[in-house]
Structure 1
Amino acid sequence: MTKARIKYVLSADSWAKARKAPMPYTFEPMLATLHREPFSDDAWLYERKFDGIRLLVFRDGDHVELYTRNGKARNGHFPELVALMAAQPGERFVLDGEVVAFEGDTTCFSRLQQRAGISDPAEARASGIKIYFYVFDSPWMEDYDIRRVPLRERKQVIREVLDYSGDLRFTPHRNGDGAAFLAEAREKGWEGIIAKKAESAYRNGRSKRWLKLKVEAGQELVIGGYTDPEGSRTGIGALLVGYYEGDALRYAGRVGTGFTDAELARLKETLSTIEQAEPAFADPPDATDIHWVTPERVADIRFTEWTPDGRLRHPAYLGERDDKDAREVVREDRA
């Protein structure tokens, strides 16, 4: 891949917005803002929302690094992706995308989580869980910072210059008809869609030029405690979860469904090592059967809605996430 190839893909106006710059080796990715109402607008692109783990890919010659959005290295967890990126025709690039595992035709975070917890490359490869990487953006390509180039043309660049013959996938998009696409997502059992302003630049941090529209309510929440199991259940009974409002951790409710037996046992082993005497919640529930923990771990929770008193209705556990810092977790419908 050469400067001439990138210049050929871009319009003259967009090429003027690209600037020569050193390759970044870390940066804060662009993040979507939750949006409630479906909409259709020709100025927006609509992509499928994957139920996976966001990864940033940095390739400099023979050297490839994979990082989560909060800067955790993931080369050992996904060695196939390292090999896949090293085999690409371009030698220097930064990609933004999502690693996924499938269950049938639907991406499945709980299946991916079984791989995400394995850091030994050989063991990860032998897990039997096949992974794919969907690339949807690139802020830097072959000596050029292309963040100011409009999104539509950044997507043209990654479509033209990358090789999609293996397990690398280009993230397709729908033009204009977002409401119909969200209805299709609901029908197919997807998590939702992402709406992106077609002419948007790539900005660090959360932006209202990228919007996430979910089929069901759900978000990451901080684990602040757990209860003991009852009856024939083993491991833990329920998780107590919450979100940050300024410096205060607010209690959002108990989550007692969605766990496998193996996950109940793993959570018990993990959480018992970070127990503390006092609750981290600013408004803890009045109960005596709770093991309080240091609020450093994050879980992905699906639920039907928030109640008027700020509790989760019918929550279910999807999996633990280590790609988001606990202090970044806020109530999304208020963000």
Structure 2
Amino acid sequence: MDLPVPPPVSPMLAKSVDAIPPGASYEPKWDGFRTILFRDGDEVELGSRNERPMTRYFPEVVAAAVAELPPRCVVDGEIVIATAARLDFEALQLRLHPAASRVRMLAAQTPAQFIAFDLLALGDQDLTGLPFSERRAALERALSTAGPTFHVTPATTDLALARRWFDEFEGAGLDGVIAKPLELTYQPDKRVMFKVKHRRTADCVVAGYRLHKSGADAVGSLLLGLYDEDGSLASVGVIGAFPMATRHALFTELQPLVMTFEGHPWNWAAHMADRDTTRRYEGGSRWNAGKDLSFVPLRPERVVEVRYDHMEGRRFRHTAQFNRWRPDRDPASCTFAQLEQPATFDLGDIVPGLCTSP
């Protein structure tokens, strides 16, 4: 490729803040795969946040880039999949499959879209040194005729509207608001934007742990569960950000609760050969197909309060954070009913023409 901003490029990042700051350009925070797209004629590359290429996983996006984008450009955005008028991150994760035949099938069954929110280069011009207000205007012009796969994210400088977006758009699967200073140049791998995300707490049952990667007598992560109406314990995520001293202390504290898999609600051994099932329901990683998914089962007797931003299906979308232990809570009371349910909001009301998969 012969572009003024050649691949790979690490995307510009955002730091978390507690409130939406004034005096900026505001956008919905999309929940997908952050991607920088490079197009030079018929050549198209999709680079992920960690600069890992994703081109092979989204052939429909590559084809649409040739059809819808300017002949030579570099666009920053998010690859998303929309089903039932909301974002579906689980369906997006399933697209990262090693088999080419599976990739082709999923591209037809659950086609992805691209939400563009910055323009790094156009033709022979490097735009990264321009203020964001000028890059945004150039992006709107460059993608004015794009669609149905490529869309420009909504943006506003109205703080009151941004606050309304923060409250309403979660119902369509979005997870907050991004604020960009109008004079901000594009700074790869720098946290110079701002993000505001929903913060909530939930009381969860600790049903197991994974050992720390050091191999020492230390806990790497705790496995969390919530009870369904039928009394079954569902896996909802993990917490793992502990100081090393705490990891050692937890290992010792939890030994009296260690049990065998016989009688434990999560006997996942039968599912280990089915990687799609394991990744989707038991927290595995499509970025690391060889990840060890084994764990030490515990009697589900301890309750922990965790912080989380939102749910993706029946799991925490991002790794939850430890808040405090709850010895006063009965594990049986830790149910899905405690979770806040955002009001439904249609993606088509956020980005008109955004395609949805069946």
Q: Tell me which interval the TM-score lies in, with the shorter structure as reference length.
A: 0.5 to 0.7
Match of 1:68 in 2: 48
Q: 1:188 and 1:100, CA in 2 relative to 1: closer, same or farther beyond 3 A?
A: closer
Matched, 1:147 2:160: no
Match of 2:97 in 1: 118
Give me the whole-angstrom Cα distance separating, in 2, the residues matched to 1:131 and 1:54.
13
Matched residue of 1:301: which SS?
coil
Matched, 1:34 2:13: no
Structure 2's unaligned 5+ residue stretches are 202-211, 214-219, 226-230, 255-264, 300-315, 326-333, 337-358
Matched, 1:307 2:323: yes
Matched, 1:194 2:192: no
Match of 1:207 in 2: 191
Q: How far did 1:169 drift?
A: 0.7
Matched, 1:23 2:21: no
* Partner residue of 1:166 out of 117, 130, 148: 148
More strand by share: 1
Q: Is the 8 A contact 1:243 1:249 kept in 2?
A: no
Q: How far did 1:57 drift?
A: 0.7
Q: How far did 1:49 drift?
A: 0.9
Give me the whole-angstrom Cα distance separating, in 2, the residues matched to 1:274 and 1:110.
18
Q: How far did 1:239 drift?
A: 6.2
Matched residue of 1:81: which SS?
helix
Q: 1:68 and 1:315, CA in 2 relative to 1: closer, same or farther beyond 3 A?
A: farther
Q: Is the 8 A contact 1:53 1:68 kept in 2?
A: yes
Instruction: Deviation per CA, 1:181-215: give whole Å up to 9, x if none.
Output: 3223346553111111122111122323x111112
Q: How far did 1:120 drift?
A: 4.2
Give me the whole-angstrom Cα distance separating, in 2, the residues matched to 1:195 and 1:100.
20
Q: Which amino acid aligns with 1:212?
A: K
Structure 1 or 2, whichever has the larger Rg, is 2
Q: 1:44 and 1:144, CA in 2 relative to 1: closer, same or farther beyond 3 A?
A: same
Matched residue of 2:195: which SS?
strand
Q: Is the 8 A contact 1:49 1:194 kept in 2?
A: yes
Instruction: Deviation per CA, 1:278-306: give whole Å up to 9, x if none.
Output: x9xxxxxxx7869xxxxxxxx95265x64
Give me the whole-angstrom Cα distance separating, in 1, the residues matched to 2:45 and 2:324.
44
Q: How far did 1:32 drift?
A: 0.8
Q: TM-score, normalised by structure 1?
A: 0.63
1:253-332 paired onto structure 2 within 5 Å: 265-266=278-279, 273-275=290-292, 300-301=317-318, 303=320, 306-307=322-323
Matched residue of 2:278: which SS?
helix
Q: 1:99 and 1:187, CA in 2 relative to 1: closer, same or farther beyond 3 A?
A: closer
Give me the whole-angstrom Cα distance separating, in 2, the residues matched to 1:100 and 1:110.
10
Give me the whole-angstrom Cα distance separating, in 2, the residues matched to 1:272 and 1:87.
33
Match of 2:308 in 1: none
Match of 1:6 in 2: none
Match of 1:324 in 2: none
Q: How far did 1:80 drift?
A: 0.6
Instruction: Deviation per CA, 1:105-153: give whole Å up to 9, x if none.
Output: 22121121122x2244543232211211001101222121111211122
Matched residue of 1:265: which SS?
helix
Give me the whole-angstrom Cα distance separating, in 1, the residues matched to 2:125 and 2:245.
41
Q: Which amino acid aligns with 1:109?
A: F
Q: 1:315 and 1:91, CA in 2 relative to 1: closer, same or farther beyond 3 A?
A: farther
C-alpha RMSD over aligned residues: 4.5
Match of 2:76 in 1: 96
Q: Is the 8 A contact 2:87 2:173 kept in 1?
A: no
Give me the whole-angstrom Cα distance separating, in 1, the residues matched to 2:10 and 2:284.
32
Q: Is the 8 A contact 1:44 1:197 kept in 2?
A: yes
Give me the whole-angstrom Cα distance separating, in 2, the residues matched to 1:139 and 1:249.
44
Calculate percent identity across the aligned residue pairs: 24
Q: Is the 8 A contact 2:222 2:240 kept in 1?
A: no
Q: Is the 8 A contact 2:237 2:319 kept in 1?
A: no
Q: Is the 8 A contact 2:73 2:121 kept in 1?
A: yes
Q: Matched residue pairs, number?
A: 262
Match of 2:36 in 1: 56
28-37 vs 155-164, which moves further:
155-164
Q: Is the 8 A contact 1:55 1:69 kept in 2?
A: yes
Q: Which amino acid aligns with 1:22?
A: P
Q: TM-score, normalised by structure 2?
A: 0.59
